[in-house]
Structure 1
């Protein structure tokens, strides 16, 4: 009985390895479209949004800044400059959210965050750092549009 399970396990693992090999097909055209290097990676700039120094903004002002913040996110995403954005859940680090920018330098990313009304009003402060990750992140917006029932 142990031999049967052992043989079955070997057969199943062999099939799993074959399935993995057959699904990994290099797509040169897609790699070029996404700006991937030979490893399927590319350079981005990672941004952490933190609670800013503006603690005196009224609820009405905050509402206006956040509306502008969301409009800016939408614009940058449509332009292909913002790959991923999203808020953090409540935490003890004052982290509010992240941006992943499709730019090569921190200076380019700084120019983009400077267009955010909530950053300008110091509701948020930002930390920017170069980041190297999968070029497949460039496909996130396309997939998200297909699965989001409600749009911002």
Structure 2
């Protein structure tokens, strides 16, 4: 099993939204490196759900990857802000995964807390200027986070 961190702005899609939906695809990723990380995900991998662009950003919960290799439907939707005219049905440029809600943490683990406990080699979100919405988390960092939640 591998571990990942996926960011979402809470006013766009929050941990509460995933809790209510139970299962969702993670659509709209339009960064090649983030897309490539999603291509590496496997069923059963755990995902730290991170609220970004908020007063106190941080990890708010946990999800699990339940399906991989899904063509992101928003790339074909001309009415979507994520529409990609260069993407073709027989050769989609953007893939996504389906995740299921696992847990909402009782307390947010803030970015400041993460910076105090981890290096960028352990969890990329602490790297200054990192704007990726999907990134790997080292097994050791994941275990520490799971212990303190």
TM-score range, shorter chain: under 0.3
RCO (CA 8 Å, sep 6+): is it higher in 1 or 2? 1
Larger radius of gyration: 1
Higher helix residue share: 1
TM-score of the pair, normalised by structure 1: 0.26
Higher strand residue share: 2
